[in-house]
Structure 1
């Protein structure tokens, strides 16, 4: 039985594992590491690497990634993958509203 990452905030996870746990894409996790993210106070913070696994993939602490997700929650939601039919429908509605606004302008 595996322990969920939230139960162990010091767990070292790959970008893919963190993405699944936080509901974002692996690319966003890597962006937090390479380009950093802005905190609500306007400071740029980088997601620190906690080591490498046996395959050579970067590993990050769950707690650090959760802090990054919380600090960028508004923009992180735009990177979230829809999980249910309702979320897909909402994504389609939002996209059509944006397209409608661009046509009117």
Structure 2
């Protein structure tokens, strides 16, 4: 059964418009990579008061999301985004997993 996961990231203050612009122009090959890894229905939301980004996605039972950090296009995207959001030394975003506490189906 597909799994929905949610996580939080941190955007640098004043970067909301740039973050949205870059996602409007997301690398087509990154979209393909994410879909091929089993990701679908992926949304990112912004809390403008504290600059937190909240993401939720669905991944298939046979997903390969663990392989994404190894992919060159993923590394290129992280580097592209590293100046506007909180990240690690390898440019990957700081991600805080979120626990679902309620679901109304």
TM range (shorter): under 0.3
Q: Hey, which of these two has a bigger chunk of strand by percent?
A: 2
TM-score, with length taken from structure 2: 0.27
Larger Rg: 1
